[in-house]
Amino acid sequence: MITKQQVEAFGSIETPFYFYDMDLLRQTLDTYKAQIDKYGYNAHYALKANANDRILDTIRSYGLGADCVSGNEVKLAVRSGFDPQKVVFAGVGKSDKEIKAALRAGIFSFNCESVPEIKIINDLAAGMGKKARISIRVNPDIDAHTHKYISTGLKENKFGISPWAFQEVARLLSCCKNIEFLGLHFHVGSQITELPVFALLCRRIEELQKWFIEHEIPIRNLNLGGGLGINYQDPNGDPVAHFEDYFNIIHKHLVVRPGQNVHFEPGRALVGQCGHLISRVLYVKVGREKKFAILDAGMNDLIRPALYQAYHDIENLTSTGRKLRYDVVGPVCESSDCWGTRRMISACKRGDLFAIHSAGAYGQVMAMKYNQRDLAKAVYSDDLK
């Protein structure tokens, strides 16, 4: 919830900008940390959701590791003070340069997404006189019931290794001398709000790890990835992701054998709700059939609606008056630059401040300069006090 005092402080800041409620971030992390400590689980924050220095510092201070999907993310994580021993590296297309950099940094695990990748990591590690710790990212063929662009665990998706290739994986593991095998990794999609999906994932993991155990390949780690969703419909009423329910389901359904460690890679659920895109109304355009509220924030600042038809709650921070129906749009020359159609919002005028909520994850980190627009800056609640 953005406070009256914060809205007053916004008056002197150039819009659009990202506002981060650091109290909410800490409250979210407190809740998350209590849950993983309760079960003895390990967590690696998915840097790609938001890589702002202040956000990373806060998350690192809770003892989390980092989940990276590029060589530069690995470098950033290490530079930001994350323990390399807690850095994991996924991605279907790791380049030789990225693999070498990660080997040099001494990361905890490569999450390998194809059979040829295992071979290349082994060869590169051999060339550097090192041993690479790897996990196999398995494609479990599970429908996460999320938007098709953020679903990753179906057999038609490009991610992970399918069970029919396990024989080949086992052969490689036995002959690759510069590989140390840690276990299995899964990540079936993002913005998953139907918790039974995770119960299904746990049951699939048990089926899949049995294959390895039968072939006498020990599984030390199970990494369940991220994907827990947040409430985009009601961010003010439901600001913290439902970690307790999530871990309850996992704890109940995941078979953990003695000596095994369980890992997670939360992204959106940790940072999604603490970020808001703050914008001003430039014009109210009244047409025959509808009214447009035209904002100074556009799809270049936050691309989720244009990219995945994502819903973001929109609030008029300046007025709490009678609600009217608006199509809320941005200034960019694309019809997909639209924040929402037929939204009920307190009657607005030029200069009113709007908040586009739940913009902390996959928001600022995806911003671009399309139309030669300036990049929106970050403002942190701790600095307004």
Considering only the stretches 113-121, 168-176, 265-273, 299-307, report the one whose residues sit in contact with ligand PLP under the rule CB under 6 A.
265-273
List C-alpha distances in Å: 380 to 3, 52, 127, 314. 13, 11, 45, 20
* List 2, 49, 103, 173, residue binding ligand PLP (CB under 6 A): 49
Q: Does residue 113 interact with ligand PLP by CB under 6 A? A: no
* List 29, 47, 90, 184, residue binding ligand PLP (CB under 6 A): 90
Report the C-alpha gap between 276 and 360 in whole angstroms.
6
Q: Which is nearer to ligand PLP, 169 or 241 (CB)?
A: 241
86 contacts 65 by C-beta, under 8 angstroms: yes
| In the complex, least distance from residue 240 CB atom to ligand PLP, rounded to whole angstroms | 15
Q: Does residue 225 interact with ligand PLP by CB under 6 A? A: yes
Q: Which is nearer to ligand PLP, 69 or 328 (CB)?
A: 69
Q: Which is nearer to ligand PLP, 153 or 331 (CB)?
A: 153
Paired sense of beta strands 221-223 and 261-264, if any: parallel
Is-cis flag, bond preceding 16, omega within 30? Answer: yes
The residues, any chain, with a CB within 8 Å of residue 363's CB and separated by 6 or more, are: 18, 50, 275, 277, 301, 302, 304
Q: Does residue 265 interact with ligand PLP by CB under 6 A? A: yes
Q: Does residue 266 interact with ligand PLP by CB under 6 A? A: yes
Q: Which is nearer to ligand PLP, 15 or 358 (CB)?
A: 358
What does the DSSP 8-state code read for residue 165?
G
| In the complex, least distance from residue 161 CB atom to ligand PLP, rounded to whole angstroms | 13
Dihedral of CA atoms 22, 25, 26, 28 in degrees, nearest 10, equals 160
| In the complex, least distance from residue 379 CB atom to ligand PLP, rounded to whole angstroms | 23
Crossing angle for the helix pair 115-127 and 166-175, nearest 10 degrees? Answer: 10
Which residues contribute to the site for ligand PLP (CB under 6 A)? 46, 48-49, 67, 69, 90, 187, 190, 225-227, 265-269, 361
